[in-house]
């Protein structure tokens, strides 16, 4: 990951860079979180299976909410200068229709990240994204941490841009996601999709 100094023009420059990199380089996504330019590899099969597991659990939850897993970009972070592509976004089915590549997070109920084998996954998924998603006012950030064998639920973003409530659960335990999701997940299947 390469550090970049924040600048008012940076977001526009980043968007141009992201389009060029993702068009020319198969297998990567580019993000801007906390002023840092990051490259994220396209996920492996277990990563995709975890997202499909979650999609199937959340689908009957509410016909108005859908887990988007297609790489939709969100404007996140302080003053929306950041750009992230969450692994999953729980939002109304039509939340991103006409929104473009970097949508507003206003309709988002939850973001989901599944850790990858990238060298910067610790910094990106465990440190920077909870701050960026809280600053964007996203009610829940769900981290499925394959390396640590746990699920971390961040909720209740405050005015200072931090989640007030964070709980960590080992794979195999029941995990309750608070409002606006309001569902309990049996995380036992996650044990089969770690390495």
Question: pLDDT at position 30, please?
Answer: 61
pTM for the whole thing?
A: 0.82
CATH of the domain spanning 44-193? 3.90.1570.10
Question: pLDDT at position 125, please?
Answer: 87
| Model confidence pLDDT, tens digit, residues 66-97 | 999 978 999 998 767 889 999 999 999 999 99
* Token output for 47: 């990563």
Burial bucket for residue 103 (CB in 10 Å: 0-12, 13-18, 19+): buried
Residues of the chain with pLDDT under 50: 1-9
Compute the distance between CA of residue 157 and CA of residue 138 in angstroms, rounded to an integer. 7
| Domain ranges for the chain | 44-193
Q: Name the one residue in this structure whose structure tokens are 């492996």.
A: 44
């Amino acid at each position: 990951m390469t550090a970049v100094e924040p600048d008012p023009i940076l977001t526009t420059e980043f968007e141009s860079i992201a389009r060029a990199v993702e068009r020319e380089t198969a297998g990567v996504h580019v993000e801007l979180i906390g002023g840092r330019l990051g490259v994220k590899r396209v996920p492996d099969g277990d990563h995709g299976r975890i997202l499909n597991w979650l999609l199937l659990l959340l689908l009957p939850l509410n016909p108005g909410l859908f887990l988007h897993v297609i790489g939709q970009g969100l404007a996140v972070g302080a003053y929306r200068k950041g750009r992230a592509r969450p692994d999953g976004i729980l939002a109304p089915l039509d939340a991103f229709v006409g929104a473009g590549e970097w949508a507003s997070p206003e309709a988002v109920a939850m973001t989901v990240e599944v850790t990858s084998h990238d060298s910067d996954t610790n910094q990106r998924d465990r440190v920077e994204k909870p701050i960026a998603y809280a600053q964007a006012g996203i009610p829940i950030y769900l981290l499925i941490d394959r390396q640590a064998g746990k699920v971390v639920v961040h909720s209740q973003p405050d005015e200072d841009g931090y989640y007030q409530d964070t709980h960590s659960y080992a794979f195999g335990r029941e995990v309750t996601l608070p409002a606006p999701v309001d569902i309990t997940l049996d995380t036992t299947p996650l044990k089969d999709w770690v390495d």
